[in-house]
Amino acid sequence: MGRSGQQRRTITSVTEALLPLVTMFVAFTACAIAFGASQELLVAVLLLAAAVAGATAARHGASWTDIQEATGRRLAEVLPAVLILLAIGALIASWMLSGTIPFLVYWGVRLVRPELLVPTAFLATAAMSLFTGTSWGSVGTVGVALVSTGAALGAPVAATAGAVISGAYVGDKISPLSDTTNICALAAGVPLYTHVRHLLYTTLPSFAIALVVYALSTRITGGPTRMTDTASAVLTDIDRFYHLGPVVLLPLVVAVVSIVRRTPPALGIMASVIIALAIGVLLQPFALGDAIMAIVTGFRVTMIPGGEAAGDAFVRLAERGGLYSMASTLIVIVAAFLLAGGMEVSGALDLLLQRMLAAVESVTGLIGATLLSGTTMVAVTSHAGVTALIVGGLFREAYERRGLAPENLSRTLEDSATITEVLMPWTVSAVFMAGVLGVPTLEYAPWAVFNYTGPLIAMIIAATYPRTGIGIRRLQQPDTTFGVPVER
């Protein structure tokens, strides 16, 4: 019963269920064309869509209390992610204090050829994410340094950010250490390594396509092929303001070791922050009061003795981070979850998923419906794990009825819920990436090649399977991903 005493009624019209999402897409697209995309526009559009979802829920007997409770549950589910978000803000500021980011940028500019920076960014973050299993941790550590290096070199920043995000999601999708890899296997009822092997059918082609695009990126974007005067000026300022001994890499080592040892991410990141603060105060020329202020409000070049003389390029590199820098991100998350809460209590999400499932007959249709369901659900919930569990539970029987092995389902969950969230500007992951890297979602998304080729490769495999017999596994069919049968 709602507070008004009305009987709750489940929504039955697909048109009505889609109305909040249609409102969001149309309003965002129209306003972005007219005024330009911005974080402020995103918040306004989300609140408008949330109001439509709330009105729909109220029409079906839900109350404001019901929507608040649904929103609160979602916020509770992503609290660990919110804590990581805040910790990353503190991490970036502290790594500027310690000289960790300046060190990585300095040697990145010195050692990496400008035309190779984008593919290097992709390969480096892919290795990091495979090693640690985390996309956020990979982007918030080496990813930030790589994008900063790109900015210093005059490389295409949007392409560098897209390459960093693509690399980060290689491990998020396929690493046995990744939470989402394990959850997608669990949701479909598949042994973990069976799931990982089956992922290779879509992961390897996406990886190869992304690497080729990034290798050609300088020709596509017209980026520099040699060190620019701006990059030289940044190196001069870093040399002037920092002591760049190997000790400044200690915060990075602490962060990586914490991730590998599966320490709760927020705690591991804060351990790195503490080490970085100590180095900043003891080795670098920063006062304790400025160090504490930087963690909260962000690093400023005025904290450096003589920093007023820094060049504009160094200022753009240095002034970043802090807990306050994540405030706008948290506002977007709350607005997005108000939308999700309204759609949940009205029954719109369940209706959309059930209708998609009921409409499919062929293997291609089933894979397509799973991709669409996973993408739709994660667009609203911003939670890949919850999406995988819900969509996996709904579709497991359908895959079994059609004689398809469950690893087809688990792989399709990865190709939708795991890797597409970061392409939608209103989701938690997209807001995080845009905030941390300083590149709007609509600018990096075309370059996040690995993320959008995954679903495309999945559909191509499904469509060509009747002719090729490749990429889809039937029940009782042995796992021969590497050419040798493997016990299921």
Do residues 161 and 195 share a domain?
Answer: yes
In a domain, 477, yes or no: no
Do residues 258 and 366 share a domain?
Answer: no
Do residues 245 and 207 share a domain?
Answer: yes
| Whether 206 contacts 454, CB under 8 Å | yes
Domain residues for the domain of 132 are 79-326
In a domain, 148, yes or no: yes
| Whether 105 contacts 149, CB under 8 Å | yes
Do residues 34 and 115 share a domain?
Answer: no
**pLDDT digits over 343-390, tens only?**
888 888 788 777 877 777 788 999 999 998 899 888 877 778 778 877
Average pLDDT over residues 276-280: 95
In the chain, the percentage of residues whose pLDDT exceeds 90 is 34
Do residues 286 and 333 share a domain?
Answer: no
| Whether 375 contacts 420, CB under 8 Å | yes
In a domain, 486, yes or no: no
With H, G, I as helix, E, B as strand and everything else as coil, classify residue 226.
coil
Do residues 159 and 304 share a domain?
Answer: yes
**pLDDT the model gives residue 226:** 62
Do residues 205 and 261 share a domain?
Answer: yes
In a domain, 68, yes or no: yes
**pLDDT the model gives residue 478:** 65
What is the number of domains present in the chain? 2
How many of the other CB atoms lie within 10 Å of CB of 173? 28
Cα-Cα-Cα-Cα dihedral sign, residues 404, 406, 410, 411: negative
C-alpha span between 432 and 458 (Å, rounded): 26
C-alpha span between 117 and 227 (Å, rounded): 12
**pLDDT the model gives residue 80:** 79
Do residues 250 and 134 share a domain?
Answer: yes
Q: How confident is the model at residue 479 (pLDDT cuts 50, 70, 90)?
A: low
In a domain, 33, yes or no: yes
Average pLDDT over residues 206-214: 96
C-alpha span between 117 and 126 (Å, rounded): 14
**pLDDT the model gives residue 289:** 92
Do residues 382 and 301 share a domain?
Answer: no
User: For residues 85 and 170, which has the higher predicted lDDT (pLDDT)?
Assistant: 170
Q: How confident is the model at residue 3 (pLDDT cuts 50, 70, 90)?
A: very low
Do residues 280 and 337 share a domain?
Answer: no
**pLDDT digits over 27-36, tens only?**
888 887 888 7
Residues 332/431/291/87 CA torsion (nearest 10 deg) = 90
Give the domain-ending residue among 326, 356, 378: 326
Do residues 269 and 306 share a domain?
Answer: yes
In a domain, 8, yes or no: no
In a domain, 208, yes or no: yes
Do residues 225 and 96 share a domain?
Answer: yes
pLDDT of 45 strictly over 80: yes
Q: How confident is the model at residue 4 (pLDDT cuts 50, 70, 90)?
A: very low
Which range is least confidently modeled, 8-12, 76-80, 134-138, 268-272? 8-12
DSSP E strands, 350-421: none
Give the domain-ending residue among 326, 342, 371: 326
